[in-house]
Structure 1
């Protein structure tokens, strides 16, 4: 009832204010040009990140970090994701351009990850409004042109009470340029010291501002060349240059299994007569001679091309009302490459037919292995975004106080198409490896119908260069996948002063929002049917609606008293109703206190949530043959040593002496379990509930009056996330049921009368938790102007006290802060220090980026190689020792010169000393990829030059 009352009040207020504004428009007298100019200025949008109350002080009761246009340019970077990644509180995104092995429609985009909580838990806004997201909840920052950015606000706090879902790790609010008069053109070129990874940018911005209208248009183009693994030692080897003999895989020389003795043989390099067994030699798994270094054919960082057109207009309709609108259209083309597919009987079940002319063991279905290096796997992605934002806003007087209102509609639509080549189309491969015959002196496919359909015999065992292109054309799979996502968002907000207290005006803001999210993903039908070697997935199609209402109240309690120069509280509450899972209410409480004018003390308590995405709810299911250990197994399962578990198994109808069987039908032989003979289901779950969080912050802002331009900030944060949406594997499901006695998981599988598991559902679930704590420290000082110019010093650091994860009920807590357990680790300390100097037309900046060391697994315990503590037993991966990896700092330099004709030349070098950070063998700070190198690190020295011309 309370929420309905709040919603009704907000609607009534919006209607009343609309009527008031129209009345004011009809009766307002004509103003002079000077008065119009003053009034127009008052109608400019005021964007306060983290609050809908526009009168709140810039130093709010929550930590907001701001990068202005000058700071953005000083990075020498031209992608929003890369710029944000420099912040100490930002972790490596879930997907980066270096994640060559990652798959899915989100690959190719760039993202942001606040507090290491994941890109899906970071809300991205543009001018205070939601930007487009994919079906998995990821926001591609490459669609936002840097040329249009005025500043970037990063709210390092929970903000679901203000903005709704997803603002758990924080909020990135990108504010675009406004009221621009004139023209500006930029060109940029950058290149790695190794002569690759070239980046070419060009953009043009033009704007015109009058008393009534402000128009701006910008066009931008960016081309980023790929970086190949084979260009430098750091990326050439799977485990880095210290271990060049590791990371070699299946080679392109045909390998077969002798059906008589069970030994493996490899075709002699250069031999083409694969039917003659005399041309083979025994395969030695310890030798590199018949193996292949796949990094030779892989991109380390994908290449891309970005095009963007942005138009924005603001028109003063009356003295009290203005209209605004913006439209963006962007395209992104990206491409990455993997080495050829490791084609084998093990992976596909195909064999060389007994009647195939190239079979070295005629009459036998021959098992084979061979990497198709002649046909690398290439994925080309094209993403197109259309984003439109229109609305109106105005000001009026009510209750003898200033009030503001705004209403708007946002439309976002994204189309992604991915074309993947280089995988094998299995039906054609089976025919090409099938029986052959001789026709007109040529080896051909034996079946006439297959020949008519294009079948060409495949001598799979022949080495590189011995396979005709016609064969590759026949077996090549060209897969096309498409994704569509659309957001329709309607908002209405109103706010202003209610009444005055001795300490100031009590302000209130309220609003309503209706949002619809819908989308679909259609993988290639052949992939979905399992007819190719590409990753299989099922279609996704779904939508949901959200209705929300919020209220925010700001109360100045005390002012100008001894020990209390200011004390105020801010309370916000948001009601959200989702058509899929129901309703949630999230509150936020903030306080600010100035014991003296120079010191601000601030604290917040915020509830947050992340709604399950369309992918989470309606994504297609897939099948897999999982390796798992059944706790009811009487020899190796928990039932063998735990009477309680044995009793639960018996109560579920499992026979007393039950033994888990592997795919061959044999009892398992160790606690490693065995692979299921039955396919298990995995994928989405329409019954998911939202993730929930509680964020607590406490901070100080100290600006001593006796040192003008100096500011200190210290903020503590504590974020606790529960009901995390995660995949759950077969072993965990069974353990949750029988060991932890969580009955909900007992409904995810079935057994037959013999106790054998006949079905199991591994779909997503609300499992586990994250608990993270830390400190943000900032020191910023603009020194007094000197005869040598103006100097600015900025230092921003994050100290991670704690980052603990739990995968489910009763599971061991995994500690990641500064340590390595379960193949992950996070830096204790990240810090940036920048010195900036300006003197007349000259300028320069020097930046140091620091990462503390991490504990990693040893390369080898016996003998000890890269191992500081060989005796350490890791609770997740066994006795593997610990290697302490050292800290690393990167230095960047930028020089600037502004010519008399309003042209600015910039030259910069990032990682000027060509520093390389340590390699991590069991610390995966990013997604998939090789070598084990943190993408946040610089892998090379990078040079860039740019020129800016204003008109």
Structure 2
């Protein structure tokens, strides 16, 4: 068990933090105590249901207090968590986008295993699941900074305690439950370059009495959009072959471009973003219009109420309501498959023949049949007349919790708790200025859409003169909105009982028992046109109605003190899902403290991840991946033939109700050394294996499997050409990762102030995946997007009412070889600086700079295309100055 000196040390550092210095909690000792008292209390730590005084468990935990979060200068909890060293490959940030509301989302991805394998808790209970990613991930943006007291990060699997999703680890946000008085805090952040200006305000009020504690807060956050044109590295004339004006690919002649296409970007006032690209096509520079990050506003309210009903019974309740609005922008939509195919019809034949004569795709006599052949023309078109695709997203989460806890005289003294929870998450998205592909095709067939702006002679011999803007006006009539809305709703109840079963010479043997039940419903729908895949600029086609799952869980946990200093932690959990079945997941942990200053620990456990609703029930959504038709290539007998060239193929991705859960095993062991009362060092190893990973085979793999005789994946037309691919989710392969965590925390007390030095470092030994049982393992570590190391170093100094902090963030270099070509990016280091002053009128002023050296993201346009970097790993905002003022009442 932990010595009282370790607990006292935490109290000391906590008091320093509350005075204004930013300290990360000792990452090795992790001793937690109430900041108002140095008394040793039994509390519950993340990853266990057993209350204890010793916060060192068999699993590694990082505890980060609010002062450390404030000293980081990060404006939101999602920004702070994104910089964790264990967020190995970065994670999704609230980027500009369209569709299912993803621009309101921010996730965390511990160990690089995917956000769906990291569990997010608020006070030990799950937060809501977002519709935006099929109900499989949780949105950090819904957690207001004003509610956060500290963050506990369990760097180990925890399905034996929490059930599904806790494969890579757990983020547990502990909220404020005791607060006296009021606090108003305002903050303004201004990047040195244009875009992404931000501001926030939060007000917290609380009251404590002998029986009741109330904490309430409101918070508002606003960030302006960041456009591609506002950063030099993304303001590059990145064109695509779909333009306005555009071009055509005739079925039997050379492709051509509209003669109105400007030779250079900016040459034409009518078509300012169009130009003839290196590919010889009329390209469109979409970076002139598109946004990298969406404009965002958040408003949230938070209330925590605890009331002592009797000496032995306490009522607890919490309400959290969060609403997020975003406005994103993409350039006008390219009209993709079914691509507009211009064919000669009775209605358009005069216009068609004029274009054929001008651009050289005239009709001809087939030498074999003697028949007149009219060529078809595949049009490369972008709906510029319809305007930019502007997407407005509204994301709302309501999270309500209530329950009772207390003590019983049973079993020599027992702790019990029952709770109920209601969570409702809703997302709605409106994508404006889309275009109906069916209407475009009909207008081409009828001759109403004169795409190339041609004059022609009609059947009566009259000259029909094209009027500038005529085609644009026709296209504007096809303007459509894409509408998406979705909802998840969870009703849950849980009951926990813990007590000491009996005593052994080395201590008592506790037992914690738990029961949980919840039912979650899920729905998402698109507007009818999107669902029929008729709108250019959105994938659509993913309606899920009336699906729900019921879950019943039972868990048990105990700690056996074998000898003084040696504890064995045993836990297990049974989960029964109404939609895929049941699973039982055990865990064994050992802690051994041969001396007060030295701890050895290790754990082994099983885990699982239930398939998401989208994994199970998602309808077909359309995409166009690039692949080689293996069967056609083999039949050609010539690897240089057109049949062996990579092409885009229409593919439909969807759910699979026969999916099983992913299954995992995790192993950790390590050591913690308290070198002095103020210096801790931790070194730990972890290994995780995930089987039956849920995913989708690639288009290339689909063709390869078809060539071996497997049907039902590639569907062909009567002439043997590919119609479409059916790529549903499957339980596929195996994923393995292992690595080393290193942490140290040193507090130095000097005559010129107290200095806190901390390091948090993660080194990945392996991260490999076997995509499916027919393939070999592929090692990804060190590849582009998969850095081998991430680390954070922080120094904080405080003397009297003045404080300063310096935080540095390191992301390792990456390199990939594709077709004998090497693509790479270098090491990435950014620095944040903050100064703070505690004013005598109970105010605090903090000024700082994020990304002090104005470091750009690590760029490789050849590999990433646009915008030239990995948005999961690197922020595009650049150097940002901020001012924060906090006033206590």
Q: Which residue of 2 aligns with 1:276?
A: none
Is the counterpart of residue 508 in structure 1 residue 511 in structure 2?
yes
SS at match of 2:112: coil
1:848-880 C-alpha deviation (Å, 9 max, x unpaired):
111221114xxxxxxxxxxxxxxxxx4xx4222
Aligned pair partner of 1:307 in 277, 294, 299: 299
Aligned partner of 2:92 among 92, 95, 116 = 95
Equivalent residue, structure 2, for 1:398: 410
Per the TM alignment, residue 409 of structure 1 is displaced from its structure 2 partner at its CA by: 0.7
Map 1:687-836 to 2 at 5 A.
687-704=658-675, 707-729=676-698, 731-733=700-702, 735=704, 761-784=726-749, 786-818=750-782, 820=783, 824-836=784-796
CA distance in 2, matches of 1:514, 1:544: 11
Unaligned runs of 5+ in 2: 1-33, 264-270, 357-375, 456-463
* CA distance in structure 2 between the partners assigned to 1:488 and 1:102 by the alignment: 30
- Aligned twin of 2:184: 185
Give the 3-state SS of the residue equivalent to 2:803 in structure 1.
strand
Q: CA deviation at 1:469?
A: 7.6
Correspondences of 1:2-13 after superposition (within 5 Å): none
Q: State the Cα distance separating 1:531 from its structure 2 match.
A: 2.1
Query: C-alpha offsets along residues 106-163 of structure 1, whole Å, 9 cap, x if unaligned?
Result: 3321111111001110000000001000233111111111111000001010000000
1:708 Cα deviation after fit: 2.2
| Structure ranking higher on relative contact order (CA contacts 8 Å, 6+ apart) | 2
Q: Distance in 2 between matches of 1:682 and 1:88?
A: 33
Equivalent in the alignment of 1:124: 120
CA distance in 2, matches of 1:941, 1:138: 30
CA distance in 2 between counterparts of 1:383 and 1:437 reads 40
Q: What does residue 886 of structure 2 align with? A: 948
Match of 1:937 among 874, 878, 883: 874
Give TM-score scaled by structure 2 length.
0.84
Q: Separation in 2 of the partners of 1:890 and 1:437?
A: 56
Q: Secondary structure at the match of 1:604?
A: strand
Tell me which residue corresponds to 1:332: 324
* 1:267-282 equivalence runs, <5 A: 267-268=259-260
Distance, in Å, in 2 between the alignment partners of 1:606 and 1:102 is: 39
In the TM superposition, residue 762 of structure 1 has moved relative to its aligned partner by 2.3
Residue 21 of structure 2: aligned partner: none
- Listed as ranges, the matches of 1:460-609 within 5 Å are 466=469, 471=474, 473-533=476-536, 534-541=538-545, 542-559=547-564, 566-609=565-608
Which residue in the other structure is 1:878 paired with?
819
CA distance in 2, matches of 1:887, 1:946: 31
CA deviation profile, 1:293-330 (whole Å, cap 9, x unmatched):
21111101111110101112111110000011111211
Aligned CA distance change for structure 1 residues 257 and 553 (closer, same or farther; 3 Å): closer
The alpha-carbon deviation at position 936 of structure 1 amounts to: 3.0
Q: Say if 1:191 and 1:942, in contact at 8 Å, map to a contact too.
A: yes
CA contact (8 A) 1:496 1:509 kept: yes
In structure 2, relative to structure 1, the CA distance for the partners of 1:759 and 1:900 (3 Å cut) is closer
Call closer, same or farther: CA 1:371–1:884 in 2, change over 3 Å: closer
Residue range with higher mean Cα deviation, 390-399 or 316-325: 390-399
Give the Cα separation in 2 of the matches to 1:437 and 1:472: 10
- 1:576-628 per-position Cα deviation (integer Å, ceiling 9, x unaligned): 11111111000100000011111000000010100001111112134668766
Pick from 75, 85, 101 the counterpart of residue 105 of structure 1: 101
Match of 1:646 in 2: none
Separation of aligned partners in 2, 1:132 and 1:335: 23
Q: 2:424 aligns with which of 413, 419, 427?
A: 413
Q: Residues 605 and 500 from structure 1, CA distance in 2 versus in 1: closer, same or farther, beyond 3 angstroms?
A: same
Query: After the TM superposition, which residues 277-356 of structure 1 pair with which residues of structure 2 at under 5 Å, given as runs?
Result: 285-286=277-278, 290-343=282-335, 347-349=339-341, 355=347
| Corresponding residue for residue 833 of structure 2 | 893
1:232 shift after superposition: 1.8
Specify every segment of 5 or more residues in structure 1 that has no aligned partner in the other structure, as ranges.
1-36, 238-243, 272-278, 445-456, 560-565, 638-657, 662-666, 857-873
Contact 1:421 1:479 survives alignment (8 Å): yes
Q: Deviations over 1:48-96 (max 9, x none)?
A: 1010000162111111011100011011112222101111111355532
**Conserved? CA contact 2:305–2:316, under 8 Å:** yes
Partner of 1:32: none
Q: CA RMSD in A?
A: 3.6
**How far is 1:749 from its partner?**
7.1
After superposing the two structures, state which structure 1 stretch, 721-730 or 599-608, moved more.
721-730
- Structure 1 residues 409, 366: CA separation in 2 closer, same or farther (over 3 Å shift)? same
Alpha-carbon contact 1:197-1:224 (below 8 Å) kept: yes
Q: Does 1:911 align with 2:876?
A: no
Q: Report how far residue 727 of structure 1 moved.
A: 0.9
**C-alpha spacing 1:102/1:769, structure 2 compared with 1 (3 Å):** farther
In structure 1, the residue matched to 2:227 is: 228
Aligned counterparts of 1:175 and 1:169: Cα–Cα separation in 2: 20
CA distance in 1 between partners of 2:724 and 2:868 (Å): 37
Aligned counterparts of 1:625 and 1:516: Cα–Cα separation in 2: 36
SS at match of 2:233: helix
Query: 3-state SS of the aligned residue for 1:392?
Result: strand
Equivalences, count: 807
CA 1:550–1:750: 2 relative to 1, 3 Å: same
Find the aligned partners of 1:270 and 1:352 in 2 and give their Cα distance: 28
Q: Are the equivalent residues in 2 in contact too, given 1:793–1:835 (CA < 8 A)?
A: yes
Shift of 1:535: 1.4
Change (3 A) 1:922 1:154: farther
Matched, 1:845 2:805: yes
Structure 1's 591 and 252: CA in aligned 2 closer, same or farther, altered over 3 A?
same
Superposed CA offset, 1:258-289 (max 9, x none): 89964513233699xxxxxxx9xx99653789
Distance in 2, Cα, partners of 1:73 & 1:486: 33
Distance change in 2, residues 1:229/1:537 (3 Å)? same
> Displacement of 1:675 after TM fit?
7.1
Per the TM alignment, residue 190 of structure 1 is displaced from its structure 2 partner at its CA by 0.3
1:253 to partner: Cα distance: 2.5
Partner of 1:46: 43
Summarize the Cα distance change of 1:498–1:270 in structure 2 as closer, same or farther, 3 Å threshold.
Answer: closer
Distance 1:513 1:801, change over 3 A: same
Determine the C-alpha separation between the residues in 2 that align with 1:80 and 1:549.
Answer: 32
Q: Distance between the aligned counterparts of 1:545 and 1:504, measured in 2?
A: 39
> What is the deviation of 1:916?
2.4
Residues 64-103 of structure 1 aligned to structure 2 (within 5 Å): 64-92=61-89, 95-98=92-95, 100=96, 103=99
Distance 1:249 1:755, change over 3 A: closer
Show CA shifts across 1:436-475 (max 9, x none): 699xxxx99xxxxxxxxxxxx997x96xxx3688545411
> What is the CA-CA distance between 1:660 and the residue it aligns to?
11
Q: How far off is 1:343 after superposition?
A: 3.7
Contact 1:518 1:544 in 2 (8 A): yes
- Asked whether the equivalents of residues 458 and 467 of structure 1 are also in contact (C-alpha less than 8 Å), the reply is no
